[in-house]
Amino acid sequence: MALAASRDLDCEGCFTHFARADEDGEESWSGQFALFQDFLERMRRRGISFPIAHCANTAAAMRSAEARMDMCRLGIGVYGLYPSTAAKNWGLIELEPAMSWKSILSQVKRVPAGHGVGYGSAWAASAETLIGTVPVGYADGYSRSLANKARVLVGSVSVPVIGSVCMDQIMLDLTAAPAAEAGDEVVLLGRQGEAEIGADELAGLLGTSCYEITCLTGRRLPKRYRI
């Protein structure tokens, strides 16, 4: 009350943030919403009102018109991604991924059978193999934990990431894309032709959520925004 009465304080808004709104069942969010509404009502009875009250993250905005209140705070939904598998299965809204991560092949060369690739020779060719180098690494946010697990798209074909992920480079086994040349587009996240690599796929490989994937790209990466 003392703070609200202060001439030096201008209360522009009040909010809470749902902890479980992306889970199935009304109880995952309705109890917290009720507590927030009760708090706002108690403040009104004391003569304190807020021009803006908001609580709806992506999941709450999807499932409840009431929870949208004066404003919504869409986070992962802005990326065109669902906050959880449960939320996707609700079938309430169709989202289209908005973020993609692209690079190019900086080098393409053949290595003989038995030749090691990357630091520690973490991958070795079982036969003569076409290898592509991409100027992206963990300094750009492409996790070292994706080494020998992830795939990228070259010529709308899926090719594996091989060897260690370096600070500034990754290597690819281009066996499935034999016509690939230096300068060709490489998609690390997003669509190329009919093929796609989603944030959920990379998140599964890293044991995390798509939220983290969208935040990984480093500051030194040039970013283009299309509206």
> Is 153 in the same domain as 58?
no
pLDDT of residue 85: 94
CATH number of the domain enclosing 13: 3.20.20.10
Residue 3 to residue 36: CA distance in whole angstroms? 19
How confident is residue 47, by pLDDT bands cut at 50, 70 and 90? Answer: confident
Task: State which residues form the domain around 131.
Answer: 101-215
Rounded CA-CA distance 125/123 in Å is 7
Residues 55 and 147 occupy one common structural domain: no
- Asked, for residue 105, whether it belongs to a domain, the answer is yes
- 77 and 166 co-located in one domain: no
Could you report the per-residue pLDDT of 49-76, keeping only the tens digit for each? 899 999 999 999 999 999 999 999 999 9
Domain count of the fold of the chain? 2
Residues 111, 162, single domain; the answer is yes
95 band by pLDDT with thresholds 50, 70 and 90: very high
pLDDT in tens, 131-190: 999 999 999 999 999 999 999 999 999 999 999 999 999 999 999 999 999 999 999 999
Task: List pLDDT tens digits, range 75-84.
Answer: 999 999 999 9
Q: What is the pTM of this model?
A: 0.89
Residue 218 pLDDT greater than 90, yes or no: no
Same domain, 78 and 112: no
- Domain end: 35, 61, 89, which one? 89
Q: Mark whether 46 and 135 lie in a shared domain.
A: no
Q: What is the mean pLDDT of the chain?
A: 95
